[in-house]
A and B are shown apart, each in its own frame.
Chain A
């Protein structure tokens, strides 16, 4: 894996965690009940913490003036490598929960595999993050079941959320150019796919939900082609560092 691909690969993982962490943090102070507001804020914190380790590692490889902050706050949408799913807007609680579940199920199997990476720094980050994702996956799975198998309204909302989000899940398993080179370092998406599908189908079935197998899958995020949602997210998240570069408090 050449250095650029290696950095892009790490950035993809970092951007996934940061963007979803930021989305979840938008719920802080707005959750439906206090305990769940705290839960989602905790998950946001875990994800942003994971993103920091990954950005610090990418910055070390990139060397020069690059820091974790310039990577998080100084790049524009086309340089972000996150998958499209994580940048989608929060919508209602059901959509937020389903987005978290679909992503946590991927991250759970992904980090499990990444612990075997030849890149010992990535393996160590994966080992740490995996333990946190166990909580995220359990919490979001239980909520998907609770809402899907809940009232008529909660079920309808989950169906709607599934329709909105399912088309962004195929991207997990379509390797970007820089991923294909990473044998021994990167995780082969083909290994994750059946594990993810089994887990997701099991939980959806218990929730009384079914994804449309004919759904056309949208891709592009990992290569920097994003939905318009990401631009708005970055505009808010990066505002301070754009207006006052290097500002600290």
Chain B
């Protein structure tokens, strides 16, 4: 069976899109920008993905879930390849993904800019509160509940919230 055509590739992408990040279940792995390539030839599927952070414990689960959803739909010859370069960046997150994050109560990443630099005591990023949209917010910690998030507090509605930090 030769399946190396646009339609089957599109179908595989749409199946992978059903796999969510187990730590941020509102985001699909496609929204997250970690699926770098999908190829299909001679009944063999090769999916190339890249980790968000080196130690992200969700990666093993994500790999397994991609395999599961493809197996369920009759694809059983699957190779998952991990690439590290170019390194993942939050700039690869889809606009749709950013909207989903915000609706879920997590402030989406700002474009990668001067804040990803090693300068000390730098100006804090102006992050909008995902609940009341105020920019009157304060960073509590640049490390949050998972490697990809920082912890903020809104000074207007007083709610704490996660910020998916730029990387």
Give residues in A with beta carbon < 8 Å to B. Answer: 21, 35-36, 38-39, 42-50, 52-53, 108, 120, 123-125, 127-132, 134-135, 137-139, 141-142, 145, 203
Contact = CB atoms under 8 A, between A and B. Distances in A.
B117 A134 contact: yes
B54 A49 contact: yes
B56 A49 contact: yes
A164 to B, nearest CB: 24
B143 interface: yes
A135 B149 CA distance: 12
Contacts of B87: 127-128, 130-131
**Nearest 10 CB-CB pairs, A to B?**
A49-B55, A49-B54, A45-B55, A124-B85, A35-B141, A39-B143, A124-B84, A42-B143, A128-B84, A128-B87
A111 to B, nearest CB: 11
A128 B145 contact: no
Contacts of B88: 128
Contacts of A108: 118
A50 B54 contact: yes
B61 interface: no
Contacts of A38: 141, 143-145
B147 interface: yes
Given A35-B151, A45-B55, A53-B54, A127 B120 contact: no
Interface of B: 51, 53-57, 83-89, 116-122, 140-145, 147, 151, 167
26 contacts: A21-B55, A35-B141, A38-B144, A39-B142, A39-B143, A46-B53, A46-B147, A48-B55, A49-B53, A50-B54, A50-B55, A53-B54, A53-B84, A124-B85, A127-B84, A128-B54, A128-B88, A132-B54, A134-B118, A135-B142, A135-B143, A137-B118, A138-B120, A138-B122, A141-B118, A141-B120
Q: What DSSP secondary structure best describes chain B's contact surface? A: loop
B147 A42 contact: yes
Nearest to B86: A127
Contacts of B120: 138, 141-142, 145, 203
Contact of B85 (A36, A50, A128, A134): A128
B121 to A, nearest CB: 6
A48 B85 CA distance: 19
A29 B54 CA distance: 22
A41 to B, nearest CB: 8
Nearest to B146: A42
A134 B114 CA distance: 12
Nearest to A129: B54
B117 A45 contact: no
A39 B55 contact: no
B147 A142 contact: no
Contacts of A123: 85
Given A127-B87, A128-B87, A52 B54 contact: yes
Contacts of B144: 38
A29 to B, nearest CB: 15
A165 B133 CA distance: 46
B116 A134 contact: yes
A139 B85 contact: no
A203 B143 CA distance: 21
A134 B167 CA distance: 10
